[in-house]
Structure 1
Amino acid sequence: MKLTALSFENYKAFSKRESIEVRPLTILIGRNNAGKSAISRLPLLIARALSDRAESPFEFKFNGMDFGASFLDLIHNRVPHGSVGIGATFTDDDGKTTQLWGSVQYFNEYKLQLVSRFFLRKMNDSAITLSWIGREPLKEGELYCVEETEQKCRVSFQGFFPQFIQPIEENQALTLSLEKGLMDIRLNNTLLAKATKNMTYLGYFRQQPQRLYNFPSRILHNVGFNGVNAPELLGDDFLRNKGIVLEAVSEWISHYLGGWKLDIDEQGEMFSLIMRNPDNPSVAVNLVDVGTGIAQVLPIIVQRQFEAITGQTGNLEIVEQPELHLHPDAHGNLADLYVEAIKQSDARFIIETHSEIFLLRIRRWIAEKKLEPNQVIIYWINDDPNSGERIQTIHIQKDGEVDKWPKGIFSEDFEEVRAIRKAQKDFWQ
């Protein structure tokens, strides 16, 4: 089962209800502070709400993630008694979908979150909708109505999902019906939690390198939050897998980022990541002392090469600005890594980027028939809240052209050249 769509309302920068598809390669573009990161990080918020570790419907600080100082930072315009609505669609291998939606009301005076509406529907099956009907959240926080039967009941939640449902009126038939419904909910909760497990998030500031690392005493399967485990994953590979992943990473860096090779300098129980001169292998520099670009891109390259070699693919990888601190010449080569992953596995990515070259490379591969148009979708996040359409969908056609291109996207170079030409004309006059 895979996450195939996201929806949200009154969430961060977005007041109205919005929806996006999640395809193998979902690309978010837009100006700074438009709301791209709020969308790209949303699957992590949902994953936490579905997990058995959730302590409240929406947690805003967990596993290194920080969605804000308080729940108010999730609410559009930080309305003290506002609510946030978040939903997702999941699709199994047979094409059957499961739709999930939940609204969480915030009571600022109590610093309390309460699920005000819960909706779950599996394709070709009946839906279940729970609506909070209480007035006082402290006294009636568990008072809900099952909309399909108009029956009142008491409901307790763990995270986003109901864990206990009991009818208020004694009714054996209703009790049995609710118990069956709860079993279905729990089964779906397990399936959806599994579908959102093992996500990888690489934010726009990846983990900074250190001079020394301990060889890991555990076997690693991904680079972790912001790439924190990337060096240890290479250390694990060096110790236990003959350095196959390390060699692949080194070859990529050498080919596209300046010729030097990545290597491990073993120092007893510890090791260093070093860049070695291929023409004079005795010349080596600690990764800490080389340019920021290589350190920032390293977790991306490690994860891509690890999955390509081992075949161990996560549910979803979220990457913000993969091109950060890299010369534009390497942007297209980064795009190639994601294209190859999609072609060779069922990998799925949400990429937030400011790189025109990254997009051009994707369009090129579609035009050259190396990628199918339906595997990619682009969303332009409009930073003008009064524009009417906050999220604009851009499809790449079979010939590599786009079906539409919102005004102003990547037009800066043209505007600069036009200004230069005008200045030159004025000079000669």
Structure 2
Amino acid sequence: MFKRIKLENFKAWRNSGDVHFSPVTLLLGENSTGKSSLLQSLLLMKQTATSPDRTIHLNLGGDEANDYVDMGSFEDLLTKDPENRKISIEMDVDGRQGSSFLKIDYAQDSKKSPVIDQLQLSKDGENWFRAQRSDKGAFNIYLPNETRTSLKSREYSPERGVSFSKEAIYNIGPSGSDVEDISLSILRDLEAISYLGPLRSKPRRTYIWNKTRPGIIGVDGGEAVFALLASSNTSGKKSDGLVEAVSKWLQKMCIADKLEVKHIGAGNYNILVHRDGVVANLIDVGTGVSQVLPVLVLAYFAPEKSTIILEEPEIHLHPLAQSLLAELFLEVSLERDVQFIVETHSEHLFRRMQTLVATKKAKPDQCALYFVEREKSDAVLKTLKMDKYGRIDEWPKNFFGDATGEVRKQAQETMQRMKAERASQ
């Protein structure tokens, strides 16, 4: 689970400050303020850590089939008019073997490609192992509290953005196993990220299934139906109950009574939606069903103890369904130990989270709330502190509008018009 991240000179984030994550973290803000960039930093680290090229320092993307984000070039990634031309990412994770801490500074090499200038790893946040870039592509390795070292070699170049090389680990000596454990913990958490973007795939009338279970849902949720097909064709103790779990939330959201997977022969399947005694193909019902389906599937399909990153999960949903997403995230985070990091514009989702805290169905520390705004070209993060009654101490201005004010204004206008109409009679 990710506990903290800090960005410097990363796109709109000149200095994000410490961003602390909870089991459920909501990022709110106006368009083009920097919310997505915060999520992209995690996805960028994931695609670097999972790259087939172990020598890569930063995988900026471009491979649509395998990468999550395409960040362009180092210049595209660098914030406007930086004080120094280095990009910094700090990250704390709480893994199976305890806490691990990471600090990376990126610069450009002579070919204008991103390269690690300094990689720091720690298991307590105080004693750091360092790989520091020196001349001609060589790296110096420093143990905690060392200012001088004899460990210098091109073979010590970091791997996949988060790891010391095998040669460096070997030559560090007895502490090498600690360095390896720290890197492995961070790597596992990055590998365990699942991402669903705001643009979802369109439903199909018929799905052709090759009877294999997908490994991922996909950035657009295109594999969600195949996860349902795999689940529905597994019975007994091996069944993961995915179809039933999705049906439960569709019913809670008043979108459908249940979902049905129907085999129509020769490897062809239909997804049927039941509601009020009517059975319809997924493609023939409202867009909201097909758009929220990947969100619900991913919540139960992602491995336990993983992190799910969602952008605008509320698209095409009516207000009640949007608000129930808050309950989904909290319930699944508790049941499956899954972390949710969500970028949203939904007032209904936000306010239901407040209500859940007020009614003691959730605790304030189960959810972190942030509002992202702009100061000129820089993104600025504002923490929305929630007390035990669900109250926010400082409400973001002009974001959700003023529902009470709208009702008051409507009532005033109604009274004035009625008064004028009576006077004219």
TM-score (norm 2): 0.84
1:74 has 2:77 as partner: yes
Quick one: distance in 2 between partners of 1:124 and 1:266? 54
Amino acid paired to 1:149 = T
CA deviation after TM superposition for structure 1 residue 90, in Å:
1.6
Q: Do the aligned residues in 1 keep the contact of 2:262 with 2:272 (CA within 8 Å)?
A: yes
* Matches for 1:367-386 after TM superposition, within 5 Å: 367-385=358-376
* Matches for 1:10-409 after TM superposition, within 5 Å: 10-51=9-50, 53-54=52-53, 56-61=56-61, 63-77=66-80, 82-92=85-95, 96-107=98-109, 110-123=111-124, 126-134=127-135, 140-144=136-140, 146=142, 148-151=146-149, 153-154=152-153, 155-160=156-161, 161-163=163-165, 178-220=172-214, 223-241=217-235, 244-259=241-256, 261-268=258-265, 269-281=267-279, 284=280, 286-306=281-301, 312-385=303-376, 390-409=380-399
C-alpha distance after superposition, 1:86-125 (max 9, x if no partner): 121122468x532101011124x61322111111111187
Q: Counterpart of 1:170?
A: none
Amino acid paired to 1:207 = S
The verdict on how the C-alpha distance between 1:258 and 1:90 changes in structure 2, with shifts beyond 3 A counting, is closer
C-alpha distance after superposition, 1:373-414 (max 9, x if no partner): 111111111122478x81111122111112322333423545
- SS across alignment from 1:204: coil
C-alpha distance after superposition, 1:260-306 (max 9, x if no partner): 6432231221212233455245xx3x322332211110011223355
Quick one: distance in 1 between partners of 2:170 and 2:196? 46
The verdict on how the C-alpha distance between 1:78 and 1:197 changes in structure 2, with shifts beyond 3 A counting, is farther
Amino acid paired to 2:138 = E
The verdict on how the C-alpha distance between 1:385 and 1:162 changes in structure 2, with shifts beyond 3 A counting, is farther
Amino acid paired to 2:47 = R
Q: Which runs of 5+ in 1 are unaligned?
A: 135-139, 167-174
Larger mean CA deviation between 156-165 and 358-367 belongs to 156-165
Q: Do the aligned residues in 2 keep the contact of 1:230 with 1:302 (CA within 8 Å)?
A: yes
Seq. identity, %: 25
CA deviation after TM superposition for structure 1 residue 335, in Å:
1.3
The verdict on how the C-alpha distance between 1:343 and 1:187 changes in structure 2, with shifts beyond 3 A counting, is closer
Quick one: distance in 2 between partners of 1:195 and 1:258? 34
Amino acid paired to 2:50 = S
Q: Do the aligned residues in 1 keep the contact of 2:333 with 2:339 (CA within 8 Å)?
A: yes
C-alpha distance after superposition, 1:306-357 (max 9, x if no partner): 57xxxx5241011111111111121111211112112323221101111111
Quick one: distance in 1 between partners of 2:116 and 2:52? 17
Amino acid paired to 2:71 = G
Amino acid paired to 1:157 = P
Amino acid paired to 2:244 = E
Quick one: distance in 1 between partners of 2:300 and 2:140? 49
The verdict on how the C-alpha distance between 1:125 and 1:30 changes in structure 2, with shifts beyond 3 A counting, is closer
Quick one: distance in 2 between partners of 1:29 and 1:270? 41
Larger mean CA deviation between 20-29 and 153-162 belongs to 153-162
Across the two proteins, how many residue pairs are aligned to each other?
404
The verdict on how the C-alpha distance between 1:297 and 1:124 changes in structure 2, with shifts beyond 3 A counting, is closer
Amino acid paired to 2:147 = T
C-alpha distance after superposition, 1:28-64 (max 9, x if no partner): 0110011111112322222233336355222122534
Q: Do the aligned residues in 2 keep the contact of 1:133 with 1:145 (CA within 8 Å)?
A: no
